[in-house]
Structure 1
């Protein structure tokens, strides 16, 4: 179990360019704790996070990040001081409310099926899982009793309620309903029978009363007393005074009642008792129902309805007759979509009257607290589920500023340098130190919406699984804009692509293409302005996008041409214009792509054959044809990883000069693909027999399908992570025999260029600017080496700089959710135990079996990016520096200089101190000259 406090350990005082933001994810359960102490709400999320939030500001008091593979099924607050969570794997955990420390943990079962968690009137905990009931002491986690209601069989879609000393349980046993009454103190249970067989579509238990909807459109109720439950039928049309084609009983529990939703969108609150069923209240139109709370001996519940795109109506019903107690209309952000979940709480106002607050979960995964007709606070929890990223350059700063702005900037500049000088000379007071830190944090230059000369100010556009996009400023990590696209929230696969990167038309903004695909064979495309967030165009696609290719072609408006490959391997060209078609037809014969099917264990290569259709809806459609195929034997190899080079990577030189003055030429084939396969049985680390496991690494040309190189690693298994840059690949796997993780490197060189001098390399056929052909025969030499790595790897990336001159670093995301920068020189396949003098002159590091990880190698320092999923590297304008963005549940941003900052001064460099030093030196030189002249004059007079 991993834990993290709700504070930012990446302090600005030590790391000026470091940003760490903590999130929790989409909330699924919430319990208010306002009785004593700090006012807080305890939440559980889809990301398996249990957190305590400040009810006044929404800030995180503490959080606990549990196992990713075990979603949280339930959350309760017991004894007023423990937050108890139930995980999908049967782990019941109790956390101390003030600080989140783990009090106790109990494992009830190991199967991954869903379960429910309840708090008994005795403050003990009840877990209901498929007909098995567990009662656990909330004080120490001790199992008090258990009851298996159906022995070998299991219940599905269970419902539970309490009444006095009894616990009532209902559920599907096969296709019929099974009812039980359990003694809460002993666990003894009785199976109840019904007066007639039931096969309902939905049902609910409330205060010992059973209610169900049968297939004939009747609502059936029965009091669960005695051994037989007598059922009463009531026509739904008669009860609601209107015909209803379909209806459903919602699982939201109301003591002594239930909630009915109809096909027309209306909500009905029904009262249940021994006399039957009656309508207590009707809510016209769709509504979201909250939990019920105890209020002055009765119960209350809230219903939220969307009035329009900007307003939500909150209605509170309470009392035995469920009359309307309060109603408020709250103005909300229309960019958050609809409301998916509501959690309600009551409080006492300053005038001693009763007030209500509701916590809402938006369709965009946002979390907001509504109170007294306004939004108290809001959290953008969609940022905990980033799936793809792009970066956008900010516009150039326009000429012309006001005199007041110049004077203010000059004053801030002078003030900052005076404070830095005092701090350097240790003359600054505590107040001045605080002012200096505030000045660094709120530096206006960092948050400008224009480019800086170093290229540090950019926008990071992130796409989240909820279908919401955000633009984050690299200066302070703040949200510049956000845009929720509801059509994307239903798509399973989401991707971002650069659509327009303006160069000639500087007044145009960069545009991103957002693609979403689903399993129902449909897709969706949206074009979004990356500087403003405005959606320029949306398009519903009648096909699912299997692959998107960004072509190296742009039209007159600098829109990049894209090919969208559908599930039938047809290619759809966008933009759908005559100019795009004309450009593409000239380039069409050189378009090749490949599709990997990991399930089938094959990779197929295609090219474009001919145009078959045209139209706005499906784009300009072209037929593709398969030209090669690589099939891996299913019984011995499954595809574990596929990696290619970054399309926009800059390579400074094709030649590598060795210490003995020999020249090796890098094989810079952008069509080369790295494929790693493993034995099928190695699903878990340490689960396979070392003699039966291996990993095979392939280098394949994606145009011809030719296998350029193949190497096998014995006793190796996945998961496999890999990065591909220039002419080398680094990949990581687990060695079963040695029980350690290994990193291997492959470097590919073109021996066809042997004997060519540097002048011939620049001007001849081996010049890197000459068009490269996969069909040209090459004599390749591959050098490889393997090393032990001391940590489990979650993800890998590599640094990229503006011109490719600076040395590379491998960015490794570890199991500890931190990012390590590993110098590529440690992964040189030419390393040996005793390097020659020429190799030492070249900088080859002596060989060691393990890769060193130094404390300063951690880019995240003390911060942890929980559930780290991805790392991206973006070049700055300074060649020495690149920007690094890591995302998981948290977000982390920093800058790194793989070869140190050899081309710039640090941000906190004291120019004032430098100026004073120069002035002092000039004055000292002048004084020395005067004294020297006087001394010479005196000597002459003597």
Structure 2
């Protein structure tokens, strides 16, 4: 574009005196005019194209719901499959499966296999019978509950006689020659046959209402269920549901390798061996080469460049952007049945799976810059896979049989792991290629005590131990994680600073006692010193979850109490070097020995009411820690939402106590006892998640500081993108680049036509010529 403007400007600046000095002025004029007209037409055409493109923008803001998130809804292993109604017009199937130590009823569309609805019962069912539209459930103690088979409503009439509907009659089915053969009941002749998969497990459902019409469902060892409906000896519909990813037990994630990074590292290494001038020249040369290659690719066509700018990005371009921005992550998950699978975190697509046969997997961790993954089990066997080419089937590197362990924890990015044996002993396994060179302080806990250790000179030594009272039990624990801290303090409204207490060796734990008192303690993990204690004597109900998470200078915890009325509460404790503004206790750039730390924090605490029961909590994580921190809340009603940390501030006071300077502080708000749920902050929208009792809530940072990936893994799987401080480093999909381009071109056109007028006016002023 700039090159074209310069050429046209040269043509227009040939004035009358210059033409008069030429021998053939008319020939030059006739030569320039067609060129100018052609260029002008091209310019006007591009402008009209941009304007038309801008006029047809569908919306200023686009709702990204269901485009940047996905949910995998699972039923789980099928225990019993029934028709939803005994009538012939039934088009649904009922599936009974295990969920959260009880039984769940699921309704499936018989035509497509779509999951219509799920209903956890809260008790375990041993057998079931369908009669008309009544579903009779036989419990393990022999009692029978009745529900409406179409909607799950409870009924109060028992069956006249219970007869199981969970055991299909397989007398007419044969398993021969790798096929499932359905035989005629009278003639014993084959009616229909289906190829039997290699991992065939059994028939889960078989129903034949009349001659030559039947429904069949079979399962595989890998957790897939295939349904086939046959009418007039012809298969009318067939579908398969994959239930193998239900109940995730362990997980990790890896990043997609960016092919451009290798070239960037090569160039940076070359620049490192040059002086400043040579490095600058090298970088300019590389940039010009990239520009040259781009122009050659577009054949120096201005129209092609503008068209590419205006057109929607194709799949390859979007994929490369996801790789460059760090949005393409791969989840590696392990189920309770021992299946290991890799999922694309953008859409939940399964890339590959591996049946390990290990049903006691404890932990999965990525090693060696995300090129290897190791899997640990409770019984001892461990597997190591090469995932350099993660989109293809992995290569099994090692299959090691270790001693049985109780837990495995990764304690170093270098690949060091702490193992705890069932008897209480501990040992550390480190990477021989990257050994630990500094002392490590470790803290372990169980329900009755805290144990601290130091790893020094390749040996683990116990440093201190703390036991809780006999009537107490540890119900929650969280230590301060290693994360980036963008600000050392909080800027107040009068431009003074309140300095955060950023000592790294901190942890918090919650205990309960027989009087239903919840106690929160904050300790120094190196010395074991108790720094703060908080009691809650409002009749805490420990049948509800107790959650605790430790942030950069604060900890947040949740509990449910019954006094004065039953309510969910969420509380925060904040730690500061001093509660006096501009008073800093720590010395900048001074390293303090953890065993000799004498600086003690000062605390502020506040509690709030929340309208829903909170099942699990987590923290959003970003690459540099600049984005506003938010608390991720997994609710008992099946929703996942986020709560900005500034709402959970311990420094919020009543509005009458806010001064004029206080109101100038960033995101300050008066204290209100209740925190409502913001509908726009509900990440799951109108979805309902069934995560189970041992769900995992995680936040994955990306290369965009504004963006983090939030996933909850359990019975169901759900992932989405979250922008705690909005997308300040990326244009939204609804950005009207067409109108912006039209405005820029319009301004350039105005300057193009006004420039000769300005030059003429300046010339007249110099020669004192009046208009």
SS state at 2:647 partner: helix
Query: 1:744 corresponds to which residue?
Result: 571
2: CA distance, partners of 1:144 / 1:76? 9
Question: Please, which of 79, 82, 104 is the counterpart of residue 31 of structure 1?
Answer: 82
Contact 2:506 2:525 (8 Å CA) reproduced:
yes
Question: Please, which of 308, 327, 330 is the counterpart of residue 459 of structure 1?
Answer: 330
SS state at 1:921 partner: helix
Contact 2:691 2:717 (8 Å CA) reproduced:
no
Query: 2:645 corresponds to which residue?
Result: 824
Query: 2:282 corresponds to which residue?
Result: none
Query: 1:900 corresponds to which residue?
Result: 726
Contact 2:191 2:212 (8 Å CA) reproduced:
no
Query: 2:449 corresponds to which residue?
Result: 602
Query: 1:188 corresponds to which residue?
Result: none
Q: Residue 928 and residue 75 in structure 1: after superposition, are their counterparts in 2 closer, same or farther (change >3 A)? A: farther
Query: 1:523 corresponds to which residue?
Result: 380
Query: 2:196 corresponds to which residue?
Result: 330
Matched, 1:552 2:418: no
Matched, 1:142 2:196: no
Contact 1:357 1:370 (8 Å CA) reproduced:
yes
SS state at 2:253 partner: strand
Q: Deviations over 1:340-371 (max 9, x none)?
A: 5532425699xx867774421x4443333478
1: CA distance, partners of 2:529 / 2:253? 34
2: CA distance, partners of 1:23 / 1:930? 71
Q: Residue 405 and residue 525 in structure 1: after superposition, are their counterparts in 2 closer, same or farther (change >3 A)? A: farther
Question: Please, which of 382, 386, 390 is the counterpart of residue 248 of structure 2?
Answer: 386
Please report how far the alpha carbon of residue 890 of structure 1 lies from its aligned counterpart in structure 2 after TM superposition: 3.0
Q: Which moved more, 1:33-42 or 1:377-386?
A: 33-42
Matched, 1:300 2:172: yes
1: CA distance, partners of 2:350 / 2:523? 41
Please report how far the alpha carbon of residue 788 of structure 1 lies from its aligned counterpart in structure 2 after TM superposition: 1.4
Map 1:166-181 → 2, pairs under 5 A: none
Question: Please, which of 59, 70, 77 is the counterpart of residue 123 of structure 2?
Answer: 70
SS state at 2:740 partner: helix
Please report how far the alpha carbon of residue 331 of structure 1 lies from its aligned counterpart in structure 2 after TM superposition: 4.0
Please report how far the alpha carbon of residue 817 of structure 1 lies from its aligned counterpart in structure 2 after TM superposition: 1.2
Query: 1:883 corresponds to which residue?
Result: 709
2: CA distance, partners of 1:56 / 1:404? 53
Query: 1:864 corresponds to which residue?
Result: 688
Q: Residue 363 and residue 826 in structure 1: after superposition, are their counterparts in 2 closer, same or farther (change >3 A)? A: same
SS state at 1:23 partner: coil
Query: 1:43 corresponds to which residue?
Result: 95
Contact 1:655 1:663 (8 Å CA) reproduced:
yes
Query: 1:566 corresponds to which residue?
Result: 421
Q: Deviations over 1:624-651 (max 9, x none)?
A: 554322222232x22221122334x222
Query: 1:627 corresponds to which residue?
Result: 463
Query: 2:17 corresponds to which residue?
Result: none
Please report how far the alpha carbon of residue 320 of structure 1 lies from its aligned counterpart in structure 2 after TM superposition: 9.2
2: CA distance, partners of 1:39 / 1:634? 58
Map 1:422-821 → 2, pairs under 5 A: 443-446=315-318, 452-486=323-357, 488-489=358-359, 491=360, 494-500=362-368, 502=369, 509-517=370-378, 522-530=379-387, 531=390, 532-539=392-399, 541-552=401-412, 554=414, 560-574=415-429, 577=432, 579=433, 583-584=435-436, 586-587=437-438, 590-598=439-447, 601-608=448-455, 624-635=460-471, 637-647=472-482, 649-680=483-514, 692-717=515-540, 718=542, 719-738=545-564, 739-750=566-577, 761-763=587-589, 765=590, 770=591, 773-821=594-642
Q: Deviations over 1:277-330 (max 9, x none)?
A: xxxxxxxxxxxxxx325xxxxx434559xx9xxxx6546678599999877543
Please report how far the alpha carbon of residue 722 of structure 1 lies from its aligned counterpart in structure 2 after TM superposition: 1.6
2: CA distance, partners of 1:302 / 1:405? 63
SS state at 1:797 partner: strand
Q: Give the TM-score taking structure 2 as reference length.
A: 0.73
Q: Residue 496 and residue 771 in structure 1: after superposition, are their counterparts in 2 closer, same or farther (change >3 A)? A: farther
Question: Please, which of 41, 48, 52 is the counterpart of residue 107 of structure 2?
Answer: 52
Please report how far the alpha carbon of residue 695 of structure 1 lies from its aligned counterpart in structure 2 after TM superposition: 0.8
Question: Please, which of 225, 228, 241 is the counterpart of residue 367 of structure 1?
Answer: 225
Contact 2:453 2:462 (8 Å CA) reproduced:
yes
Query: 2:147 corresponds to which residue?
Result: 93
Q: Residue 392 and residue 749 in structure 1: after superposition, are their counterparts in 2 closer, same or farther (change >3 A)? A: same
2: CA distance, partners of 1:45 / 1:750? 54
2: CA distance, partners of 1:371 / 1:402? 56
Q: Which moved more, 1:536-545 or 1:719-728?
A: 536-545
Map 1:308-327 → 2, pairs under 5 A: 314=180
Q: Deviations over 1:727-764 (max 9, x none)?
A: 21000111221321111111123459998779x9543x
Please report how far the alpha carbon of residue 697 of structure 1 lies from its aligned counterpart in structure 2 after TM superposition: 0.1
Q: Residue 755 and residue 859 in structure 1: after superposition, are their counterparts in 2 closer, same or farther (change >3 A)? A: closer
Structure 2, unpaired ranges of 5+: 1-61, 264-289
Q: Deviations over 1:501-552 (max 9, x none)?
A: x2xxxxxx532222221xxxx2221223452451524545453222323243
Contact 2:700 2:709 (8 Å CA) reproduced:
yes
2: CA distance, partners of 1:856 / 1:403? 44
Q: Which one has the bigger helix percentage?
A: 2
Please report how far the alpha carbon of residue 665 of structure 1 lies from its aligned counterpart in structure 2 after TM superposition: 3.7
2: CA distance, partners of 1:406 / 1:46? 59
Contact 2:244 2:339 (8 Å CA) reproduced:
yes
Contact 1:641 1:720 (8 Å CA) reproduced:
yes
1: CA distance, partners of 2:615 / 2:82? 33
Please report how far the alpha carbon of residue 376 of structure 1 lies from its aligned counterpart in structure 2 after TM superposition: 4.6
Please report how far the alpha carbon of residue 803 of structure 1 lies from its aligned counterpart in structure 2 after TM superposition: 0.4
SS state at 1:46 partner: strand
Contact 1:367 1:378 (8 Å CA) reproduced:
yes
Q: Which moved more, 1:921-930 or 1:475-484?
A: 921-930
Map 1:148-297 → 2, pairs under 5 A: 291-293=168-170
Higher relative contact order (CA 8 A, sep 6+): 2
Query: 2:26 corresponds to which residue?
Result: none
Q: Deviations over 1:670-718 (max 9, x none)?
A: 43221111234xxxxxxxxxxx432100112333332222111111423
1: CA distance, partners of 2:304 / 2:714? 37
Structure 1, unpaired ranges of 5+: 1-10, 107-140, 147-159, 163-250, 254-290, 294-298, 333-337, 421-438, 503-508, 555-559, 612-621, 681-691
Contact 2:74 2:716 (8 Å CA) reproduced:
yes
1: CA distance, partners of 2:159 / 2:131? 16
Contact 2:477 2:508 (8 Å CA) reproduced:
yes
Please report how far the alpha carbon of residue 921 of structure 1 lies from its aligned counterpart in structure 2 after TM superposition: 3.4
1: CA distance, partners of 2:200 / 2:441? 45
2: CA distance, partners of 1:714 / 1:316? 67
Q: Deviations over 1:780-834 (max 9, x none)?
A: 2122111111211011111111101111111111122111211111111111112
Contact 2:416 2:429 (8 Å CA) reproduced:
yes
Contact 1:752 1:780 (8 Å CA) reproduced:
no
Q: Deviations over 1:821-880 (max 9, x none)?
A: 111111111111122233222233211112232221212222222246332111121112
SS state at 2:348 partner: coil
